[in-house]
Structure 1
Amino acid sequence: MPNISLAEAVKLKSLLMKRVHELEEEIMRVAYKIIEKDTVPEVGPRTVSVVDNEITETRKDIRTLDRLIYEANINNTVMFKDKAYTIVEAIELATQMRAQARIYKQLGAAEKERVQYGYGGEGATYIQIALFNPEEYRLNALQYEKEANKLSGLINAKNYAISLNFDDEKYA
Structure 2
Amino acid sequence: MSQITMAEALAVRAAMNRLINQLMQERLNNSSTIIEKGETAEVPARSVDVITEEIDAVSADFRKLDLLMAISNTTETIPWNGTNITVMEAIELAKQMRNEIGQLAHLGSRKKLERQTSRGLEGGAVTLFNVALYDPEAYHAAARKKEREVTKLSSLIEHANHHSKIPFDAAKYME
| Residue 134 of structure 1, aligned match among 124, 133, 136 | 136
- 2:37 and 2:116 map into 1 onto residues whose CA distance is 77
Alignment check: 8 A CA contact 1:117 1:123 kept: no
Tell me which amino acid in the other structure corresponds to 2:128.
Y
Q: Which residue of 2 aligns with 1:170?
A: 172
Q: What's the counterpart of residue 104 of structure 1?
A: 104
Deviates more, 1:38-47 or 1:109-118: 38-47
> RMSD between aligned alpha carbons?
1.3
In the TM superposition, residue 44 of structure 1 has moved relative to its aligned partner by 2.7
Q: Deviations over 1:55-87 (max 9, x none)?
A: 000100110011001100101101012111111
Q: Could you tell me how far apart the structure 2 residues matched to 1:8 and 1:49 are?
A: 31
SS at match of 2:60: helix
TM-score for both structures, normalised by structure 2:
0.93
Residue aligning to 1:54 = 54
Once the two structures are TM-superposed, the CA of residue 14 in structure 1 deviates from its matched residue by 1.6
Distance, in Å, in 2 between the alignment partners of 1:37 and 1:53 is 32
Letter in 2 for 1:27: R
State the Cα deviation string for residues 99-156 of structure 1 (Å, max 9, x = none): 1111110111000111123324441112111111111110100000110011001001
Partner of 2:74, secondary structure, is helix
Give % identity. 34
Paired position in structure 1 for 2:33: 33
Partner of residue 75, structure 1: 75
Q: Give the total of aligned pairs.
A: 172
Unaligned ranges ≥5, structure 1:
none
Secondary structure of the 2:172 match is helix
Please name the residue that 1:87 is paired with: 87
Q: Distance in 1 between matches of 2:71 and 2:9?
A: 12
Asked if the contact 1:2/1:165 (under 8 Å) is kept, the reply is: yes
Equivalent residue of 2:32, what SS?
coil
TM-score (norm 1): 0.94
Distance 2:54 2:133 in 1: 61
Shift of 1:39: 4.0
2:44 counterpart of 1:44: yes
Report if aligned partners of 2:5, 2:162 keep a CA contact under 8 Å in 1: yes
Q: Distance in 2 between matches of 1:58 and 1:130?
A: 55
Gaps of 5+ in 2: none
State the one-letter code of the partner of 1:144: K
